[in-house]
Amino acid sequence: MDRVMTAEQDHFPLSENARTVLARRYLKRDAEGVPVESPADLFHRVAHGIALGDRAFDPGADVTETAEAFREIIRNGWFMPNSPTLMNAGRRLGQLAACFVLPILDDMESIFDTLKHTAVIHKSGGGTGFSFSRIRPKNDVVLSTAGISSGPLSFMTVYDTATETVKQGGTRRGANMAVLRVDHPDIEDFIRIKDDPTKLKNFNISAALTQSFMDALKIGGDYDLINPRTNEAVGRASAKKIFSDIADAAWRTGEPGVLFLDRINAANPTPQLGTMEATNPCGEAPLLPYESCVLGSVNLSRMVRNGALDRDRLRTTVHRAVHFLDNVIEVNRFPLDAISETTRRTRKIGVGVMGFADLLIRMNIPYDSEEAAAMAGEVMGFLSAEARAASAELGRVRGNFPAYEGSRFDGPETPHMRNATVTTIAPTGTISLIAGASSGVEPLFAVAHARHVLEGERLFDIHPLFVEMAKEAGIYSEALAAAVAETGSVQGMAAVPDRLQRLFKTAHEISPEWHVRIQAAFQKHTDNAVSKTINFPASATIGDVAGALELADRIGCKGITIYRDRSRRDQVLRVGPEGIATTAQALSPRPRPEVTQGVTRRIRTGCGNLYVTVNSDPDGLCEVFARTGKTGGCAASQIEAVGRLISLALRSGIGAEGVIKQLSGIRCPSPAWQNGRMTLSCSDAVARVLRGISGGEGTEPVDDMDAGGCPDCGGRLVSQSGCLVCGACGFSRCG
């Protein structure tokens, strides 16, 4: 069997970035924080730890053969389990699941019991999803106190604050999903909540659209708003207006996402246990209350041989992956007894994929083509069939999942099934970086990008298939690499043949329609759902976003997440006819008074100490001066220009928060650390000082994820698979 590895390492070649990510987040460390295992040790630890699950069925079993089978698919880069399994398998914590859905009922006891359970889960490294749809709307009656309800959004804020407080041990940060049904009376407030960038910073949000809502939308009609306390209609709303509001909010902030709730429940494998109301944080795993995600991904990049799909290797990998994930359920130390019991009742697992864009390139298929959609269906159809066959065989040997009777599998055609679901396409931001593969089913986000190292030196991370094909075409050079890294794109480059330009299109160079069509092609053969971002250019209109939402419903997606380029950094603009953004009226600065008052603060930057003076007049902040410890030169003149423009904006009525959003996250080749925080540039430093002086969140900078900068390395964050990730260092908002 063809193995992609080196004898010395006993595993596939790891990039420098992969080694850095493994050392920082996955390898065991001693008391001083120094890694005490190698990547090969890690892969062995994980394989052996999960193989021990065989002993649940045969206490005296020799697990050596199983461990070697698992180690082979991991060390060859054919399969990677989700991050908690890589981190914790074979270790004391032993919590291996990535995400959970918890119930929230319409009473204080349930709300705060679930909040406590959420803290326990976050501490163990998991993410959580909730439906807040059962909570009575704001201003509804509270019979026990004769008061009025504060509504579901107030409790979302409580959960968000708790998540901010309970950090996840430095390896994974808190991630949540808040879902609200479209027929909840508070749906309009929910849609708009992310207009304020300080709200729900630890949440993704999704509006759950019902079939009755979609039917009303198609005829331009109204639909009922239902009070969940009484289950009675308390009003009517225009489906067209609410849908337009969703598209508008998604255009501006990337949220809310959309879930097609009735389609999700039509695929519910165990309807006798209840309906699904919520998903995990990235939306690909609709789950019943107290169920968990047990996930892993097959690397499609390594499933191509001689330009064709290697079905034998894919079959072997999938069967071992199903065995692996079923064992994860056996050895996992779940954070709550209720989660252990519920997860074991349905034994849901999710074999997914990464490296789809790489597979297409290896097969000379452009991502935005009918051939790509057909290949998505072929690959996922084969993977799904083999995963079900593997689960059926496990069911014959180990027994069916306990809730099999009464499930959709219950019948003579499928007498054996170990797992209620077997396929899920999850985000793979970090594990795909480790595996050296493109993320999930996403297109490439960049063909190359520059990395800054010490003393301003730049290194280029270039897609290895582009290097290989460019060398074959006789066009590769360091100058070409540098040129590609400047923009991340090869489009319009005279030196690059049209064939390579077609193959190496990036996410923002592919139309949203093709993003949706590829997602739908995978969804057709996926038990749960598909985590994917539908990317839009900055110039897209609200109508474009609405069209993508409608297309996703029409061609069978279970949900959709959109992201318009730079939308999280744009100032809010007025929206004119046809959903086209227009600028506001011109502003005039107020005169500067003779005397102002202010403070000067020193902050460390890569250019040396920066001294920032912020002055106020009776109407508020009015001017900013900044200078470095060194005088003269281009940098000093640029800093002076930044200060002048900020002053002009402040005296023209632009709020400090708007200025901060624009400056935060701007990067230069020489970031600097101060008090445990990275300052990315002089402009970023000015933003930090402004944030502290303007009465914002102390001296904290604007959230780097909203500003476009990675909080770990300062690289650019991009939206992939419903999550913000850094292609340079592997940071992921969702872990």
Active site residues: 280, 282, 284
Distances (CA, A) of 486 to 298, 481, 536: 31, 9, 21
For residue 608, what are the β-bridge partners? 605
SS3 at position 210: coil
For residue 80, what are the β-bridge partners? 297
> Which candidate, 672, 687, 684, places its Cα nearest to that of 614?
687
Q: Other CB atoms closer than 10 Å to residue 4's CB: what's the count?
A: 14
> Which candidate, 406, 556, 340, 434, places its Cα nearest to that of 17?
434
Q: Other CB atoms closer than 10 Å to residue 722's CB: what's the count?
A: 31
User: Are residues 518 and 379 in contact, defined by beta-carbon separation less than 8 angstroms?
Assistant: no
Query: Which tokens is 561 given?
Result: 């997440």
508, 250, 259, 339: CA torsion to nearest 10: 90
User: Are residues 535 and 367 in contact, defined by beta-carbon separation less than 8 angstroms?
Assistant: no
> Which candidate, 472, 422, 474, 465, places its Cα nearest to that of 447?
465
> Which candidate, 427, 524, 536, 544, places its Cα nearest to that of 175?
427
**Residues near 679 by beta carbon (within 8 Å), at least 6 away in sequence:** 603, 604, 605, 606, 671, 672, 673, 685, 688
Distances (CA, A) of 177 to 38, 102, 174, 204, 480: 35, 11, 11, 5, 42
Q: 256 preceded by cis ω (within 30°)?
A: yes
**Residues near 28 by beta carbon (within 8 Å), at least 6 away in sequence:** 35, 36, 37, 41, 42, 45, 91
> Which candidate, 327, 328, 341, 241, places its Cα nearest to that of 291?
341
Q: Other CB atoms closer than 10 Å to residue 60's CB: what's the count?
A: 5
CA separation for the pair 649, 336 (Å, rounded): 52
State the maximum Cα–Cα separation within the chain, in Å, rounded to a whole number: 89
> Which candidate, 507, 490, 369, places its Cα nearest to that of 438?
507
φ, ψ for residue 353, nearest 5 deg: -140, 155
User: Are residues 730 and 717 in contact, defined by beta-carbon separation less than 8 angstroms?
Assistant: no
- Cα–chain center distance at 732: 7
SS3 at position 453: coil
Based on its alpha-carbon atoms, the radius of gyration of the chain, rounded to whole angstroms, reads 26
CA separation for the pair 410, 407 (Å, rounded): 5
